[in-house]
Every structure is written in C-alpha cells, then in structure tokens.
C-alpha cells in the first residue's frame, strides 16, 4: 500500500520513521531514502542500531533549495535519480517490504529528480510492499495512487517565537 504524510506541520518524517521502527520490529526489511537531506540528524544514530533498517541519502548537505547553485542542483538531481533507480530495483526485486521516500514530494515539486521516473515508481509499486512518501504538497498523481493520506497541519510551533530547531527534536 502507498502512504503519504504531508502538510505544513512538524512530524511527517517522524511519523514515517515511527512506521519504519514498527515494521522492523515485526521483522520487515526497511529502506529509507532521504531526499534533500544531507546534514547529520539524530535519527541516523538510532536507525543505525536497527539491523532491518537501512538509510540512504546524498553524500553531502546541499542546503536549502533556494540557496543552491546550478551546480548544486545538478549534483543533487543526479544523486536523487540514482536513489530512484535503486528504489525501483528494490521494489522490482522484492528485497524490501517497506520503502520510505522522505521529502520525496519536495524533491519532485522542485524538479530535483526525474519526475517521470518518480511517477512510474509510485504507479508500479508492487503488492506486498509498503511505500511511504513524505513532504509538503504531494502531486495529484501521487494522491490518486495513495491508500493512506495523513495531513499534518501546523497549529503552533516554537519557530514562530524565534526558537531555533533543536537537536533531538527537529533534527
């Protein structure tokens, strides 16, 4: 089945990672691919301790999309496309039971991946595999395919009071 965690609120990645931990606890093999993320985050240390979970991301932090140079955008697009190609092979081979594409919607919306490949990946997800997409503003093509759509809405956030992101909570 296909799950989407979307919206402007905090917790989309957190929800997806919670699902990964639950799946791993039942013996499922889980692969997490993080798009647009390259900096050190606290969840990486915890997930590394769970043998059923593997995380893949780009080899460096490219920063926010609006600050990327054209060279950065080309490099991160190559990285994202390689991850999509690997994701398609994982789905085809059946070597994972859960595949999480974190910040997939943002990478798709900003054109920092091959959109056709992304659409094909979602549209051809095989039965027996849980595919989880996260990010704001999922495209209609993904919403139409989804079995679960959970929207996380921002009501209040410390950032609104000028409080910066905190290690272990926001990253």
pLDDT digits (tens, 9 = 90+) for 82-103: 999 999 999 999 999 999 999 9
Residue 35 covered by a domain: yes
Position 71 in a domain: yes
Nearest to 59 by CA among 75, 71, 47: 75
In a domain, 101, yes or no: yes
Q: How far apart are CA 53 and CA 79, in angstroms?
A: 20
Could you tell me the residue range of the domain that residue 113 belongs to? 2-161
Taking residues 160-169, what's their average pLDDT? 87
Q: How confident is the model at residue 140 (pLDDT cuts 50, 70, 90)?
A: very high
Q: What's the whole-model pTM score? A: 0.93
Q: What is the CA radius of gyration of the chain?
A: 15
- Residue 139: other Cβ atoms inside 10 A: 15
> Residue 168 falls within a domain, yes or no?
no
Q: What is the 3-state secondary structure (H, E, C) of 14-82?
A: HHHHHHHHHHHHCCCCEEEEECCCCCCCHHHHHHCCCCCEEEEECCCCCCCHHHCCHHHHHHHHHHHHH
CATH of residue 117: 3.40.50.300
How many structural domains comprise the chain?
Answer: 1
């Amino acid at each position: 089945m296909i799950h989407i965690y979307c919206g402007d609120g905090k917790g989309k990645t957190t929800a997806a990672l919670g699902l990964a931990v639950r799946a791993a606890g039942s013996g499922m093999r889980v692969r997490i691919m993080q798009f647009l993320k390259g900096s050190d985050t606290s969840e990486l240390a915890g997930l590394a301790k769970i043998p059923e979970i593997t995380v893949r991301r780009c080899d460096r932090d490219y920063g926010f999309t609006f600050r990327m140079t054209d060279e950065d955008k080309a490099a991160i697009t190559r990285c994202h496309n390689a991850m999509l190609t690997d994701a398609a092979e994982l789905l085809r081979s059946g070597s994972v039971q859960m595949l999480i594409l974190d910040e997939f919607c943002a990478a798709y919306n900003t054109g920092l991946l091959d959109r056709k490949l992304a659409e094909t990946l979602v549209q051809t997800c095989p039965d027996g595999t849980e595919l989880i997409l996260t990010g704001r503003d999922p495209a209609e093509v993904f919403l139409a395919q989804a079995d679960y759509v959970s929207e996380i809405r921002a009501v209040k956030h410390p950032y609104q009071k000028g409080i910066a992101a905190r290690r272990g909570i926001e990253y």
